[in-house]
Structure 1
Amino acid sequence: MDTDVLDIDSSRRRIVDLTDEVRSFCRGRGDGLCNVFVPHATAGVAVIETGAGSDSDLLDTLERLLPRDDRYRHSHGSPGHGADHVLPAIVAPSVTVPVGDGTPLLGTWQSIVLVDLNQDNPRRSVRLSFVSG
């Protein structure tokens, strides 16, 4: 298994497109699977369309599902931080995509993104792993 770790700054964007980094990582590796994993308790990874409003729609939906208020038992950090700890149950901490001839086999409009609503920790590690098939 080949692996690499990306250091991502999510302070300016709550959805960070990782597609170019994943493509670069897979280039020249042949056929297999690429796993994208975020080892954090308050972030997730998703495959969505970006740039056409879907990313904003995802954020709006998550804000409705996970309001940032004082309802959470997990209450340290910024207001509503408990919602950040529930996020990975909705947006999984990893995705695996098939790779053919060194290219992630994503659909035309699909992008791989980091979803990070946590205002308390803007530095994220994202582990890319490739398993040959």
Structure 2
Amino acid sequence: MDTVLVRTTRREELVNVTEHVEVAVARSGIREGVAVVWVPHTTAGVTVNEGADPSVARDLLAALARLAPLSSAWEHREGNSDAHVKATLVGSSVAIPVHDGALALGTWQAVFFCEFDGPRQRRMAISVLAG
């Protein structure tokens, strides 16, 4: 398992971490299998989506803000309830096929670390499993 530190600079942002996952796959030497990316935080997540157009990431954050607004009447009073909800909606892990020693992502796909309660330094774990 590789652990990567991700430093975020805003309260909410999507950070393209595809290169980190590609490095872990290369280091593993596994030609066929799956790369599992896991975020061990309750106010952050990970997803796969379009990486070519940065407006997609902005649209995703805007949609999540509409679903779970910061200013809602949350029972949890730490000021980050919206971040917990957004992290649950996005999820804490993704599994990406590895084929021929490389991530089998679609043409426009990228892996994103999703920050909902930053800025912070976060951890992301990557395990590459033979298939």
TM-score using structure 1 length: 0.89
Question: Normalized per residue, which structure has more helix?
Answer: 2
Please state whether the residue corresponding to 1:61 is helix, strand or coil.
helix
Whole-Å separation in 2 of the counterparts to 1:50 and 1:58: 12
Query: Could you tell me how far 1:61 is from its partner in structure 2?
Result: 0.5
Structure 1 residue matching 2:97: 3-state secondary structure: strand
- The answer as to 2:74 corresponding to 1:57 is no
Name the SS for the 1:7 alignment partner.
strand
The aligned runs of 1:1-133 (5 Å cut-off) are 3-12=1-10, 14-27=13-26, 28-52=29-53, 53-76=55-78, 79=79, 81-119=80-118, 122-133=120-131
What is the CA-CA distance between 1:73 and the residue it aligns to? 1.0
Q: Distance in 1 between matches of 2:99 and 2:72?
A: 47
Separation (CA, whole Å) in 1 of partners of 2:116 and 2:87: 11
User: How far apart are residue 29 of structure 1 and its match?
Assistant: 2.1
Task: Find the residue that maps to 2:20 and give its secondary structure.
Answer: helix
Displacement of 1:75 in angstroms is: 1.2
For 1:105 and 1:131, the matched residues in 2 are separated by: 14
Matches of 1:88 and 1:56, distance apart in 2:
16
Structure 1 unaligned residues grouped into runs of 5+: none
- Following superposition, the deviation at residue 94 of structure 1 comes to 0.3
Q: Distance in 2 between matches of 1:108 and 1:51?
A: 9
Secondary structure of the residue aligned to 1:36 is: strand
RMSD: 1.4
Between the aligned partners of 1:126 and 1:67, the Cα distance in structure 2 is 25
Provide the aligned length of Structure 1 versus Structure 2: 127
What amino acid maps onto 2:129 in structure 1?
A: V
Q: Which runs of 5+ in 2 are unaligned?
A: none
Residue identity opposite 2:41 in structure 1: H
